[in-house]
Chains A and B, each alone.
Chain A
């Protein structure tokens, strides 16, 4: 009951204070700018994917009418597989992608699939000013991870110290109220306001950019809100602890600003260095050269490779003793070239997944890392979803190659009626269960330090001096 009274008065005080109005205004402006940037970006991606789909459909249509014309002898399968029949494998923006841009400005979201080039070597990156990539985008993810803690700290860095400095704290405590209840009321009032606004704004952002969420989107939205609320709670608890230490307002501000910088920028940057030096990536430069060496070698030994290739793939030549010599040789060269770099490619994947699991552990060191990764996972722009896309692209490529290889060897051209049953790519969204699992871990990673800080503030508060330092 007493807590309720304190809460009520604190809310009135906050409402009367200009700080809150300014802070809310700034936060709303940032959120508006962030969401509109994210939305513009997903729209851009959608347009690009639509362009790709249109180009592909047009090309197939044109080909179809050409092949259907009387007297057409079809297109040779190798020519079709490598150029004419190129397929686009697109990664549609994630379910709540407008909220976080994340890594999606760096990672390719549409890959052109041919039978010749392995998809992990295709360089389909989006055009972008490099300085933009270096800086990162102003999206809602940035607002939540970086600016939202600042708002919290600006409102709560002096929740006790201000009363102490103005002398009202001693007066207040002469009433039948404990310091703990008072501090709890103060923090709860601010928490209700700020976290409430953050939640309301997030819901608004989703409504504006993705419509009324239902089913899976609703679950994702709830996970998002949980992340935002607990991340906010973490910063409030930190501010409470610092207040409980009984320093002056200026010292509180200094300490909290320092902790903010440490957790939001310095620890992640150090984590980045640690991750990269413990599991260093192989070099792409080396890969480029190795690819060339492997291809040179394969070309030089072409004829010998052909017979070995036929021995290794008896299933491909079934009933095609007269297989085209040139076609066999180019397939053999292609296979040998790829074999020459498999090791490096596997090394890339292995190191990246090692790095990722180390990053996952760092979530427990910095709440900002946990939150950023969690938000990216929820929005559908996270690295796990991207790896899923890559693996689907790779298996699509293999599947397609399995379709074309026997036809190339048997010199079977692609004809009009083949066009309809050619494999096409459709991204299969990752399961909600795996998203929820990862976000759940992130939530634990956020809750643990919050609880530790809360326990610490409780015990520190016992030694609080109402006057003097």
Chain B
């Protein structure tokens, strides 16, 4: 019986304009979004990789100069595109892609792609992730809202039950039928995604465990919409009523909740203006060692300590270059100031993220959004990781250059010069994206939300099945 109901439902949907029209539009959009995403991934990742090579060359090919001058010249590092970003570019267009690493200061990531865009960018981008998070659930609502409510309206539900068909088999059969119809769109889409991933020139080994997990997350999300919609349809008197309730749920989730969350977290957890942030760092730095001005109190103390340690009277007699020591001392001081301010800011931003993830418990679309971006490597955490990796590379680079000045430049002051051999011996910037377990633990709330909603949907559907009314 279950199988027959499923078959009937499936055939009904196939003949229905809703599935044909909406399904065709959504499938076309999904295809277009995937291809556009893949093309831009290919262009951007080739460009970024080439840019890093060129930036390294710029650094390596510097002429002979003082190592500290080389530290001022610095190195540009570029954020590389993660493989799955072709499905979900996430916050990538809204975060800087290049960072200038130089002595004394921590620069912000710059060149946000969104800087050069028109106002329609803010309607949202056409990405595979948007189709999966926003459009497919709407298709689910459109297909599922009448499955039981309409039978009730037309009196066929009474007829069916009078034939001795149990509510359980009706619900189960319809569930299978609807799922099979949706499968007609989802399965080819997943296959297409896999095909692009395998043949698209990605480092697929980095995407391997992530892609199936992403598939699981989306299945849970869409499955949740199917069972919740079925439950609503089973409870509502008329199909119109069911549609209104489901539309309201969908709008709350996909349209209102994200923006609501944005402003709520901005209001509850405000961040300082960039100007305030920079000027409070500047004020503190001014109060400390800057390494270029002799006569600073702390610098004097450092000097006399060194002179005493090596038992000499002047810096020229030291077996090391004092400028190197002074510069590194200033660097250490600056890092400490930056860390303090940056730490405070990151804490606020992190809390904003947590608030949003917590709201994901109420609105599953928020949850899948975070999960999807995290698995695609395009969420806030990944952008922050890149900035942190760049900063630690900056510190390493500057420290090694100062160290060379200190060790090899004894007695020469700022007259000491090093050459390309030194530049080439500097460590290379390599940024390893987060490991999977870390991504998953950061997204615990998202999983909790999806699983809870899915389970709640099943419980609701079960309840509605047991107390099914024929009118």
For A356, the chain B residues whose CB sits under 8 A away are: 118
Give Cα A368 to B119, complex, Å. 12
Contact of B259 among A129, A136, A376, A382 (CB under 8 A): A136
User: Taking the nearest CB of chain B, how far is it from the CB of A53, in angstroms?
Assistant: 11
For A355, the chain B residues whose CB sits under 8 A away are: 117-118
| In contact, B120 and A136 (Cβ under 8 angstroms) | no
| Interfacial chain B residues near A106, Cβ < 8 Å | 94, 112, 114-115
Once the chains bind, are B118 and A132 in contact (CB under 8 Å)?
no
Q: Is the CB of B116 within 8 A of A348?
A: yes
Report A-chain residues with C-beta under 8 Å of the C-beta of B121. 272
Nearest CB of B to A466, in Å? 20
A253 near B120 (CB under 8 angstroms)? no
B119 near A376 with CB under 8 A, answer yes
Please give, as numbers and ranges, the residues of chain A lying within 8 Å of B91 by CB-CB distance: 130-131, 133-134
Q: Is A373 among interface residues, defined by CB-CB distance under 8 A?
A: yes
**Considering the chains assembled together, what is the distance between the CA atoms of A369 and B266 in angstroms?**
26
Q: Considering the complex, which residues of chain B in the window 406-431 have a beta carbon less than 8 Å from any beta carbon of chain A? A: none
CB-CB under 8 A from A268, the residues of chain B are 120, 123-124
A12 on interface, CB distance cutoff 8 Å:
no
- Closest partner residue, chain B, to A48 (CB atom): B273
How far apart are the CA atoms of A55 and B121 in the complex, in Å? Answer: 34
Chain A contacts for B90, CB-based, 8 A: 134
- Is the Cβ of A136 less than 8 Å from the Cβ of B118? no
Shortest Cβ gap from A444 to chain B (Å): 19
Q: What's the Cα separation between A359 and B48 when bound, in Å? A: 28
**Is A135 engaged at the interface, CB distance under 8 Å to the other chain?**
yes
Q: Is the CB of A137 within 8 A of B120?
A: no
**Least distance between A168 CB and chain B CB atoms (Å):** 16
Known: A254-B142, A269-B124, A289-B54. A127 touches B22 (CB 8 A): no
Distance between A278 CB and nearest chain B CB, rounded to angstroms: 12
A131 proximity list for chain B (CB < 8 A): 91, 262, 353, 356, 379-380
Complex CA–CA separation, A382 to B47 (angstroms): 31
**A288 and B98 in contact (CB under 8 A), knowing A249-B240, A269-B125?**
yes
Check B119–A103 contact: CB distance below 8 A: yes
CA distance A270 to B130 in the complex (A): 12
List of A residues within 8 angstroms of B336 by Cβ: none
Cβ-neighbour of A382 out of B119, B135, B262, B345 (below 8 A): B119
Q: Which residues of B contact A68 (CB under 8 A)?
A: none
- Chain A residue contacts of B58, Cβ below 8 A: 289, 292-293, 296
- Chain B's closest residue to A369 (CB) is B120
Residue contact B123 to A272, C-beta cutoff 8 Å: yes
- The stretch of A206-214, A279-287, A409-417 in contact with B is A279-287
**Residues of B contacting A: mostly:** helix
Closest B residue to A256 by CB, please name it.
B247
Residues of chain A from 1 to 59 with CB closer than 8 A to chain B in the complex: 30, 33, 37, 40, 44, 47-48, 51-52, 55
Residues of B within 8 A of A110 (CB): 275
Count of A residues near B, CB < 8 Å?
A: 82
* Stretch with Cβ within 8 A of A (4 or more), from B199-207, B250-258, B317-325, B391-399: B250-258
Chain B positions within 8 Å of A276 at CB level: 117
Q: Which of A256-277 contact B (CB under 8 A)?
A: 257-258, 261, 264-266, 268-273, 275-277
In the complex, what residues of B have CB within 8 A of residue A132's CB? 262, 265-266, 352
Bound CA–CA A47/B117 (angstroms): 27
> Considering the chains assembled together, what is the distance between the CA atoms of A100 and B85 in angstroms?
31
| A-contact bits for B28-57, CB 8 A (1 contact / 0 none) | 010010001000000000011001001100
Question: Is A147 at the interface (CB under 8 A from chain B)?
Answer: yes
Instruction: Report yes or no: B274 in contact with A359, Cβ–Cβ below 8 A.
Output: no
Q: Is B15 an interface residue (CB 8 A)?
A: no
Report yes or no: A123 in contact with B108, Cβ–Cβ below 8 A: yes
Q: Which residues of A contact B267 (CB under 8 A)?
A: 37, 40
Contacts of A257 in B (CB 8 A): 138, 142, 247
Q: Shortest Cβ distance from B20 into chain A, in angstroms? A: 13
User: A322 an interface residue at 8 Å Cβ cutoff?
Assistant: no
Q: Which residue of A lies closest to B145 (CB)?
A: A250
Assembled-state Cα–Cα distance A124/B76 (Å): 18
In the bound assembly, the distance between CA atoms of A265 and B256 in angstroms comes to 13
A residues less than 8 Å from B251 (CB atoms):
150
| Nearest CB on A from B66, distance (A) | 15
Select from chain A the residue with minimum beta-carbon distance to B95.
Answer: A130
**CB within 8 Å of A: which of B69-100?**
76, 78, 90-91, 93-98
Chain A residues proximal to chain B, CB less than 8 Å: 30, 33, 37, 40, 44, 47-48, 51-52, 55, 102-103, 106-107, 110, 123-138, 142, 146-147, 150, 154, 158, 249-250, 253-254, 257-258, 261, 264-266, 268-273, 275-277, 281, 283-289, 292-293, 296, 300, 348, 351-352, 355-356, 359, 362, 368-369, 372-373, 376, 382-383
Question: Besides A107-B115, A125-B112, A138-B260, 17 other CB < 8 A contacts?
Answer: A47-B273, A55-B275, A126-B274, A129-B352, A129-B353, A132-B352, A133-B91, A135-B262, A137-B262, A253-B247, A258-B22, A265-B123, A268-B123, A269-B130, A285-B97, A383-B118, A383-B119
